[in-house]
Each structure stands twice: as structure tokens, then as C-alpha cells.
A and B are shown apart, each in its own frame.
Chain A
């Protein structure tokens, strides 16, 4: 596609629900990144894939967060048993190798 797409754009979840956020990277981009942006803050790194391999998950805040990219293209970020502190915008970015990252519009998650 022309750019990185993310779905859904908005998600409201009740505390304790599981959510799944999808990222479609730019075709051919090997690298894929997830970031979390809390209100009024800069984005913070969550995890990084090179093709289907998750090479760095040091930014995932807890074991309730899980990301996958099984075929080296589309990625899903899953949050289990959501908490209010998970409310944020989740950004996905893709890149050819480690160079310029192109960001999607984000998914705004609100946990009530």
C-alpha cells in the first residue's frame, strides 16, 4: 500500500478485556516497530521485528503485552486483561532495514 495502515483507529475496552491491534506495514519493509504514546508524551518503544523474528521486546511494559508477525508482514499487538494505564495511542512504523521509519496513524485505545 501507499503507507502504513493501522486498525482499528479507535478502540474502547472495558478493564479486563483483551484487545488486538493490527498493523499493515509498507510492502517490502523488513523492519516493523511498535510504540506507545501516552497523552502529552513522546512515543516510547515497545518492540521490534525483522521479518518474522522479534528481535527486541525490551519495551513491552508487562507480560500482558504480546506482539507477533508470523509471516513477516502484518503484525498484531495484543494486550490481555487491559488496565486503565494501557490507555494510549499505539503507533506502528515500518522501515527498510534500520533506516527511516514510516509511521501509521495509530490506534487510540481507551480502557474504561
Chain B
């Protein structure tokens, strides 16, 4: 079965410092992977997706993620955190041949200190 594990339930950074949110996946083949962000009282928004093209994926708002098959990882990074980045982040896998349903990680809450 395919799954994702987010290694940190909460990450706190200072504004202007780098962000690293860690995600490992479990899959017997190259999966489709996503990062979604959820701001309080707002819908889930897609940050970026990996679908077996370039291993370094650039997303919105300066975020990017690198697919590393050897490490089964898909960590999310941003060079410089902004206060508006404070939110819940979900690493997501979409299994093949299952109609497109998404399997979410438990989420990482990102706090940004002034």
C-alpha cells in the first residue's frame, strides 16, 4: 500500500530563515506526489506536484521540493520564510490505478516567528 509519512508534526522558524518540511513516501513504483497547504478556515491549495518529470519541482510562493528515489523522500523547502507562510502543510501521494484518490500525510504545522 502506498503512504506518506511527515516526519515533523510542528516546525517553527524565524522570518527570513529557510524552511524544511520533511516527507517520506512508500511506494513500489514511482508515484505522483504533491504538497498542499491549508491556511486556517481556507481550502486546501496545491503548492506543487511531482509526476515523474524533473526531480526538482518548483511551486508557488517560492516553495520547491526534490524527489529523491534513493531516499524515498519528497521534502519541501523555501529559502526564506515569510509570516504569511504560517499554515498546515500536507504531503500527499496519488496511487496509480485507483481513480485519482489522494492519500494525505498527517500534516506539519509551520509557525513563523517575527
Contacts and interface: CB of A to CB of B under 8 A. Distances in A.
Given A100-B49, A106-B43, A42 B100 contact: no
Contacts of A31: 99-100
B84 to A, nearest CB: 18
B99 A42 contact: no
B102 interface: yes
A56 B98 contact: yes
Contacts of A56: 98-99, 101
Interface residues of B, number: 20
Contacts of B42: 105
A48 interface: yes
Interface residues of A, number: 29
Interface string B26-64: 000000000010000111111001000000000000000
A102 to B, nearest CB: 8
A42 B101 contact: no
B43 A104 contact: yes
Nearest to A6: B43
